[in-house]
């Protein structure tokens, strides 16, 4: 028993000494004391010849000390013991390179490749060793040899693509990525991530050309069809992306889920025409399809957004959309899913067709519908109150605002109700009470409400300080009410009066801003642009400047489809007016137009 304990004690003592020697060697090495480290690593290597770290550290010490004779002797000895270990030849070649023996070094690199047999792991190890030293051509030689040996099954296509990427040979990179996709050694999701990171935008055409070549031989290959669809999406060629998605859906006999998701993406990119085509495809699958009702809803939403955002429509477009909304309303009267759409339908009637009685009828029916949840009903009440105000029924409006305020006192819905009630008082010329409410709403949880409240509070205060009678401000608020009520000519007449009678008043930029808004509503786009530009030229330090710049950017973005000009204006806003609440939105839109992945 004593003998066993003695043996155990001795073993642990030896292990402890080895551990101390290892730690000391590492410390010397890290501190750059290579001579001391070499002595210890030589001892450790002799005692533990199978631990590769000691061997490599010893070589590094010799190399750092310029002791190439010992280094060569050490590596040659190791090669003689392990002649099939290709990375050893690489280490020897590196030593020769450091001595300027380039021809001998290249000979050793070739010897390393000759040692390779049929084990793919050896090819990966040697290729990796070449890559570590930026020997790209040698790495390619190794991986191509391995690729041929395994007939592509070992996954060397990915490594080859990666090496060519490092070399900057994008065409070869793409070719090998496609080869890997074809032989199933590269997953499509991984490939998409790699291409997003490394494939320049101008090279997507080359990618598509290679995919088309593959599809000529195998037209129903889902991986290639999927990649082709994805590549069109990256180029924002939504029409072709949708065409490929339809082909995939038909081959798979799918339920349209991918088409639906793609159409939502396209809608979010504001290509409403193509999005409508995608949703229409789903609708044509029939009423029993999973996405029939959703597709029908999204078609209406896209058509409405074409009108609201693009401002490109005629009366026939409005009437056709109205007819489809009404049909949807009748067909789905008992569905809970129609609520948000009916709120939009009412807005179409009130804001674009100027049919206030119809908008009120739609929302009153919605509010009385027992199937609709209370929150949605309250959202409808806010719009219903707006339409009562448009029709001149102020007390009905304030009653509805107050109801929502009472039901949602600690909620953003309640804050919105209070804001609109305060705005109603502002329209009525009760500026002091309105300003008190706006001051309270500065603390609103909704950033949008808070910012609007701050703007209106400051606006009222500034103008009452200049004109204590508030006559010009009263006229301006009346003009704003007329705009709210779709009475644009009456609003313009009031604004002309302000300009004529109050020439020295601080409202000039506000008048121009409201005129620009009216002209844009009337589709007099060039006049609107002139007004916004006038503000930026003569009142660029005033409160309306950032708003004018933002409206101008949106016109070029959505209505004129001049993305270059829009980007210029968005960038100007977030650089020149970085403190503006619109700066964040401008930066987001700028990046999206630039093609950033947000």
Of the listed ranges 151-165, 192-206, 459-473, the one predicted with least confidence: 459-473
343 pLDDT above the threshold of 50: yes
467 pLDDT above the threshold of 80: no
Model pLDDT, residue 331: 87
107 pLDDT above the threshold of 60: yes
Task: State the number of CA atoms in the 13 A half-sphere of 431 facing the CB.
Answer: 23
Phi-psi region of 298 (alpha: psi -120 to 50; beta: other; left: phi over 0): alpha
* Both structure tokens of 285: 């699958």
Mean pLDDT of 337-350: 91
Of the listed ranges 190-204, 301-315, 580-594, the one predicted with least confidence: 301-315
The alpha carbon dihedral of 182, 185, 190, 196 has a sign of: negative
Closest CA to 546 of 572, 521, 511, 524: 572
Task: State the number of CA atoms in the 13 A half-sphere of 198 facing the CB.
Answer: 21
On whether the CB atoms of residues 126 and 142 are closer than 8 A, the answer is yes
Contacts of 264-268 with C-beta under 8 Å, sequence gap 24+, read: 264/298, 265/233, 266/238, 266/241, 266/242, 267/298, 267/301, 267/302, 267/305
> For helices 583-594 and 563-576, what crossing angle results, to 10°?
140
6 pLDDT above the threshold of 90: no
Model pLDDT, residue 260: 96
Model pLDDT, residue 595: 79
2 pLDDT above the threshold of 60: no
How far, in Å, CA of 159 to CA of 556, rounded? 46
Model pLDDT, residue 11: 41
On whether the CB atoms of residues 180 and 161 are closer than 8 A, the answer is yes
On whether the CB atoms of residues 95 and 59 are closer than 8 A, the answer is yes
Encode pLDDT of 526-578 as tens digits.
Answer: 999 999 999 999 999 988 999 999 999 999 999 998 999 999 999 999 999 99
136 pLDDT above the threshold of 60: yes
Encode pLDDT of 422-457 as tens digits.
Answer: 999 999 999 999 999 999 999 888 888 998 999 899
Closest CA to 244 of 284, 268, 274, 287: 274
Residue with tokens 């190791």: 78
On whether the CB atoms of residues 472 and 459 are closer than 8 A, the answer is no
- Buried/exposed code over 508-547 (b: 16+ C-beta within 10 A; e: otherwise): bbbbbbbbbbbbbbeebbeebbebbebbbeebeebebbbb
The alpha carbon dihedral of 380, 383, 389, 391 has a sign of: negative
Model pLDDT, residue 427: 95
Helices and strands (DSSP H and E) totals, the chain: 32, 0
Encode pLDDT of 149-174 as tens digits.
Answer: 888 787 889 999 999 999 999 999 99
201: buried, middle or exposed (CB in 10 Å: 19+, 13-18, 0-12)? exposed
How far, in Å, CA of 502 to CA of 496, rounded? 10
Encode pLDDT of 497-534 as tens digits.
Answer: 999 988 777 899 999 999 999 999 999 999 999 999 99
597 pLDDT above the threshold of 80: no
369 pLDDT above the threshold of 60: yes
Model pLDDT, residue 121: 86
Encode pLDDT of 25-80 as tens digits.
Answer: 899 899 989 999 889 988 898 888 888 888 889 888 988 999 989 988 988 998 88
Q: Rounded mean pLDDT of the chain?
A: 90
On whether the CB atoms of residues 589 and 557 are closer than 8 A, the answer is yes
Which residues are CB-contacts of 375 (< 8 A; sequence separation ≥ 6)? 408, 413
Residue with tokens 């005629």: 314
Q: In a 3-state reduction of DSSP, which class is residue 1? A: coil
How far, in Å, CA of 33 to CA of 30, rounded? 8
Model pLDDT, residue 15: 41
Residue with tokens 């050309």: 209
Residues in the chain: 598
Complete domains list, the chain, with CATH: 507-598 (1.25.40.10)
- Dihedrals phi, psi of 426, to nearest 5 degrees: -60, -45
The DSSP secondary-structure symbol of 313 reads -
**pLDDT category, 13, cuts 50, 70, 90?**
very low
267 pLDDT above the threshold of 80: yes
Model pLDDT, residue 390: 95
* Both structure tokens of 414: 């309640």
Model pLDDT, residue 411: 92
- Vertex 509: Cα angle to 507 and 512 (nearest 5): 105
201 pLDDT above the threshold of 60: yes
On whether the CB atoms of residues 248 and 281 are closer than 8 A, the answer is no
490 pLDDT above the threshold of 70: yes
Residue with tokens 């700028």: 590
Closest CA to 376 of 432, 335, 426: 335
Share of the chain above pLDDT 90, in %: 61
Model pLDDT, residue 3: 44
CA 11 to chain centre: 61
**pLDDT category, 17, cuts 50, 70, 90?**
very low
CA 66 to chain centre: 53
Model pLDDT, residue 19: 64
- Dihedrals phi, psi of 151, to nearest 5 degrees: 55, 40
Which residues are CB-contacts of 196 (< 8 A; sequence separation ≥ 6)? 234, 597
Model pLDDT, residue 109: 87
598 pLDDT above the threshold of 70: no
Q: In a 3-state reduction of DSSP, which class is residue 368? A: helix
How far, in Å, CA of 2 to CA of 8, rounded? 10
Model pLDDT, residue 545: 93
Model pLDDT, residue 49: 86
């Amino acid at each position: 028993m004593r003998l066993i304990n003695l043996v155990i004690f001795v073993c642990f003592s030896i292990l402890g000494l080895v551990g101390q020697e290892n730690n000391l060697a590492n410390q010397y090495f890290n501190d750059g004391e290579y001579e001391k480290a070499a002595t210890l690593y030589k001892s450790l290597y002799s005692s533990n010849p199978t631990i590769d770290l000691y061997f490599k550290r010893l070589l590094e010490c010799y190399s750092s000390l310029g002791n190439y004779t010992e280094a060569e002797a050490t590596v040659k000895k190791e090669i003689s013991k392990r002649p099939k270990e290709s990375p050893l030849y690489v280490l020897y070649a590196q030593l020769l390179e450091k001595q300027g023996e380039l021809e001998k070094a290249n000979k050793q690199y070739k010897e390393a490749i000759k040692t390779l047999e049929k084990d793919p792991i050896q090819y990966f190890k040697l290729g990796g060793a070449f890559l570590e030293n930026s020997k790209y051509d040698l790495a390619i030689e190794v991986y191509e040899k391995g690729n041929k040996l395994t007939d592509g099954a070992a996954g060397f296509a990915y490594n080859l693509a990666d090496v060519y990427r490092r070399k900057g040979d994008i065409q070869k990179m793409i070719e090998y990525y496609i080869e890997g996709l074809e032989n199933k050694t590269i997953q499509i999701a991984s490939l998409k991530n790699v291409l997003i990171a490394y494939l320049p935008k101008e090279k997507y055409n080359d990618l598509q050309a290679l995919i088309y070549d593959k599809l000529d031989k195998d037209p129903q290959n889902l991986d290639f069809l999927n990649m082709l669809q994805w590549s069109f999406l990256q180029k924002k060629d939504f029409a072709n992306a949708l065409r490929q998605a339809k082909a995939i859906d038909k081959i798979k006999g799918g339920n349209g889920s991918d088409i639906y998701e793609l159409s939502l993406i396209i809608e979010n990119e504001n290509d409403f025409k193509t999005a409508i085509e995608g949703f229409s495809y789903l609708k044509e699958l029939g009423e029993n399809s999973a996405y029939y009702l959703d597709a029908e809803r999204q078609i209406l939403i896209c058509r409405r957004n074409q009108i609201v955002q693009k401002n490109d429509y005629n009366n026939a477009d409005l009437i056709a959309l109205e007819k489809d909304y009404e049909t949807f309303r009748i067909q789905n009267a008992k569905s809970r899913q129609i609520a948000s759409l009916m709120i939009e339908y009412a807005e179409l009637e009130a804001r674009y067709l100027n049919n206030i009685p119809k908008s009120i009828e739609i929302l009153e029916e919605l509010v009385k519908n027992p199937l609709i949840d209370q929150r949605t009903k309250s959202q409808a009440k806010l719009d219903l109150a707006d339409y009562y105000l448009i029709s001149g029924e102020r007390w009905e409006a304030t009653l509805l605002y107050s109801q929502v305020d009472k039901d949602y006192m600690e909620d953003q819905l309640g804050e919105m109700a209070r804001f609109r009630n305060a705005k109603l008082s502002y329209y009525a010329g009760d500026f002091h009470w309105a300003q008190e409410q706006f001051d309270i709403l500065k603390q609103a949880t909704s950033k949008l409400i808070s910012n609007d409240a701050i703007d209106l509070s400051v606006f009222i205060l500034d103008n009452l300080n200049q004109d204590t009678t508030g006559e010009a401000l009263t006229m301006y608020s009346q003009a704003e009410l007329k705009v709210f009520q779709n009475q644009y000519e009456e609003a313009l007449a009031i604004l002309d009066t302000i300009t004529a009678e109050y020439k020295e008043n601080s409202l000039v930029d506000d008048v121009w801003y409201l005129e620009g808004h009216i002209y844009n509503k009337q589709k007099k786009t060039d006049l609107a642009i002139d007004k916004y530009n006038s503000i930026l030229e003569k009142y660029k330090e005033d409160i309306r400047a950032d708003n004018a710049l933002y409206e101008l950017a949106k016109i070029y973005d959505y209505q004129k489809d001049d993305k270059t000009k829009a980007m210029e204006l968005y960038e100007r806003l977030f650089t020149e007016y970085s403190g503006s609440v619109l700066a964040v939105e401008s930066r987001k839109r700028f990046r999206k137009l630039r093609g950033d992945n947000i």
